[in-house]
Structure 1
Amino acid sequence: MFSAQNKIKKDKNAETTECDEQVAQALFDLENTNQELKSELKDLYINQAVQMEISGNRKAVVIYVPFRLRKAFRKIHPRLVRELEKKFSGKDVIFVATRRITRPPKKGAAVQRPRNRTLTSVHEAMLEDVAYPAEIVGKRTRYRLDGSKIMKVYLDAKEKNNTEYKLETMMGVYRKLTGRDVTFEYPVEAK
């Protein structure tokens, strides 16, 4: 029979963690109880779930979904996040597609590395995943005198209601995933 274990598929030798099982059980419960999401959730599963502490009182659950299923998850993203945040009270939920970074080919190698497997491309795509459902409308990189750099990311103001409360969480999650400092802002509108 079907169970929550069908909602999680890990790599061959990887063990499931308690957080993985909690998220898989929550998805399974949503599939069985919520009629709106039942048909969409039927074929969806996750790769991994990680709980992160962002700041003193903020926590986030980062759910890794297979790259091929990211579009299906994006269709139901707002409803799914709302339901999962109810289940994991006090924690923000962020979906990120599982992507792989490959190292540059050696000199003289006949194979070329696909663009979407480069470090830069994967980090850019993660930034879009973390900021979703808001669209990124602009980016600025600020270089400080001490040599550090910080990226300012401007989000579309249309999704301000859905994303404003978790800007701090989005900054912390991106920092932990990539090691890069980023601030999310909404562009100032001229009147």
Structure 2
Amino acid sequence: ASLYELFFVGAKEVDVQGKKAIVIYVPVPQLKAYQKIQTRLVRELEKKFNGKPVVFIAQRRILPKPTRNSKRVNKQKRPRSRTLTAVHEAILEDLCFPAEIVGKRVRVKLDGSKVIKIHLDKSQQNNVEHKLETFTSVYKKLTGKDVTFEFPEFVL
């Protein structure tokens, strides 16, 4: 892979149960190229940063929902990829990259709070299981949503 063209837009430190995790933002067009080398790159960066967990996320933009009485005249319709929901879904996909999301459940508790349960592919369990707390706290920090990850035994 030619690493020359690859660059990242920004980086951020996030607290994970007393430790710090590093979130690296990459341009959306380069995300595929990053994901090809992500496992090796993450391993090397974690060595360099004294074992701090490293995650790669594409830098995406959320456009506000157009309102009826908005002063700004919209020349174009807002694309689906710029909606809040689409961006949050995409962040989740990027976050647990080597593992694939096979299912999703939203649990609404009696007090009205929501917890999203993410079912990950069991074939990648040994690759990402040690990072699940990192994924949870990074997603909470970036989107404000509570999420738990699990590896279901069977999928209907």
TM-score by length of 2: 0.92
Equivalent-residue separation in structure 1 for 2:61 and 2:105 (angstroms)? 26
Specify which structure has the bigger relative contact order, considering alpha-carbon pairs within 8 angstroms and separated by 6 or more residues.
Answer: 2
The SS at the match of 2:53 is strand
The alpha carbon displacement at 1:147 in A equals: 0.5
Matched, 1:47 2:12: no
The alpha carbon displacement at 1:90 in A equals: 2.5
Matched, 1:105 2:70: no
Which of residues 109, 121, 137 in structure 1 aligns to 2:102? 137
Matched, 1:83 2:44: yes
Give 1:67's aligned residue. Answer: 28
- Please give the residue correspondences for 1:1-191 in structure 2 after superposition, counting only pairs within 5 Å: 39-56=1-18, 58-107=19-68, 109=74, 111-189=76-154
The alpha carbon displacement at 1:110 in A equals: 5.5
Largest Rg, 1 or 2: 1
1:110-157 deviation digits (Å, cap 9, x = unpaired)? 531000000000000000011111000000000000000100001001
Q: Is the 8 A contact 2:57 2:94 kept in 1?
A: yes
What value does the CA root-mean-square deviation take over the aligned residues? Answer: 1.5
Q: Is the 8 A contact 1:59 1:169 kept in 2?
A: no
The alpha carbon displacement at 1:59 in A equals: 1.9
Q: Is the 8 A contact 2:122 2:153 kept in 1?
A: no
- Runs (4+) of structure 1 moved beyond 6 Å? none
The alpha carbon displacement at 1:73 in A equals: 0.3
* 2:145 maps to amino acid: R
1:2-53 deviation digits (Å, cap 9, x = unpaired)? xxxxxxxxxxxxxxxxxxxxxxxxxxxxxxxxxxxxx431110000011111
The alpha carbon displacement at 1:54 in A equals: 1.3
More strand by share: 2
* 2:9 maps to amino acid: N
More helix by share: 1
TM-score by length of 1: 0.75
Question: Alignment length, in residue pairs?
Answer: 151
